[in-house]
Structures are given as structure tokens and as C-alpha cells.
Structure 1
Amino acid sequence: MKIWKVELLEEALGEFKELPAEIRARFQRIFGLVADMGQDALCMPHARRIQGRIWEMRAQGRDGIARGLYVMVTGRRVVVVRFFVKKTQKTPLNEIHLALKRCGENEI
């Protein structure tokens, strides 16, 4: 039985499709863990809190490192609002601000 549901905003789905195949597969594995185990699956090394209600999923492959920024909402749902390839050590503020903006625009 699935415990939680992982949803991707339309913009995030487009970003997800542009990620390298190996990194997409790693994110899909995390999505499966969340569906089966709930928020207990969202801990290091798979996820961590970034700022306020924004969290990040972490995936790494031969082609680099990527992050999916998400929020947890009522109804046992995780909504991913942004995917990006990480190029710096720290998650860039502009990525966090974009994620917050998308949350507001989509009333999440």
C-alpha cells in the first residue's frame, strides 16, 4: 500500500525530463521510497530541509549532481516545484526563491 504521493508541478516535470537518465532514475527511486515509507524516507542522504517549508531531494550520478526542491502538503503529498543541476556547494538562493515563487503561484 502506498503511504504518500509524489507530484511534480508542470514546470518541474519539464525540468525533470531534461535531467540525465541516471539522475532521473535515482530521483524515481526516491519517489518510490516516499510512496512506500512516507516522510520517514525523506532524510539524509536522500533529502534535507533548506529553508522554511522548502526541502531538497538529492540525486547524484556520473553526469553530476541534481536537486529537486519540494514541499510537503496535507493529504500526505510531496510536491516537487523545481529540479536543477547543482554546480555549487550550497543550494543557490535564486533556486530557493524560484521554488518559493512557484509555491505561491500554484497556491501550494
Structure 2
Amino acid sequence: MDFIKIVGLIEKYGANLGKPHTQYLGSKLFEIRAKGREGIGRSIFCYEDNKTKEIIILRSFIKKTQKTPKQEITIALKRQKELEK
């Protein structure tokens, strides 16, 4: 499924869609898994706050391994902390 359709599902049903569309990564981070022209794309996101359903995409990349690389999660966590300031 493509990225835009998955975001629409998140808006309608929330982030816990489960595989193959989303996955909870911990620390209030979720991952979108979408097919694109260049392969499987992933985007790590969080909610803006607990009261809204607005999401913030913190990091996007093309998947090259089965598991989400730790450096991608580290970048997303750093950006998430910057938002909390």
C-alpha cells in the first residue's frame, strides 16, 4: 500500500494499524511501512501531542534490512526531543 493511503488509515483508525502498515517502535514512536518505486519505504513518526491526531514525520528512508536500523531510530528520537522543547 502506498504512503498516502496508509496515512489516511492512520487518520481514521489511529497509529496501531499493525503489520504490514504500521509498527510501534517504543518511546512513542511508530513506523509506517509503504511500497514505493524504489523499494519499501519507511517513515518514523510520533503524535504532536496526546490530545490531537496530528502526526509528525521525524525520519523517512528506504528499507534495506528486515529490522529498522538503530541509527534511524536514534535520529527520530533526537528530533522528537527537539519538538518537546
Q: Which TM-score band applies after superposition, normalised by the shorter structure?
A: 0.7 to 0.9
Amino acid in structure 2 at the alignment position of 1:44: K
- Aligned partner of residue 91 in structure 1, secondary structure: coil
TM-score (norm 2): 0.82
Structure with greater helix percent: 1
The Cα of 1:34 is off from its aligned counterpart by 2.0
The question of 1:77 aligning with 2:54 is answered yes
Unpaired runs of 5+ residues, structure 2, are: none
Mapping 1:4-19, distance limit 5 Å: none
Amino acid in structure 1 at the alignment position of 2:72: E
- Aligned partner of residue 10 in structure 2, secondary structure: helix
Alignment partner, residue 73 of structure 2 = 96
8 Å Cα contact 1:69/1:81 also seen in 2:
yes
Alignment partner, residue 54 of structure 1 = 29
Q: Percent identity?
A: 39
Aligned pair count reads 83
Taking structure 1 as reference, are residues 51 and 70 closer, same or farther at Cα in structure 2, changes over 3 Å only? same
8 Å Cα contact 2:44/2:60 also seen in 1:
yes
TM-score (norm 1): 0.66
- C-alpha separation between the residues in 2 aligned to 1:40 and 1:87? 23
- C-alpha separation between the residues in 2 aligned to 1:59 and 1:91? 14
Which structure is richer in relative contact order (CA contacts within 8 A, separation 6 or more)? 1
Unpaired runs of 5+ residues, structure 1, are: 1-24
- C-alpha separation between the residues in 2 aligned to 1:42 and 1:52? 17
8 Å Cα contact 1:33/1:41 also seen in 2:
no
Cα root mean square deviation, aligned: 2.1
Alignment partner, residue 4 of structure 2 = 28
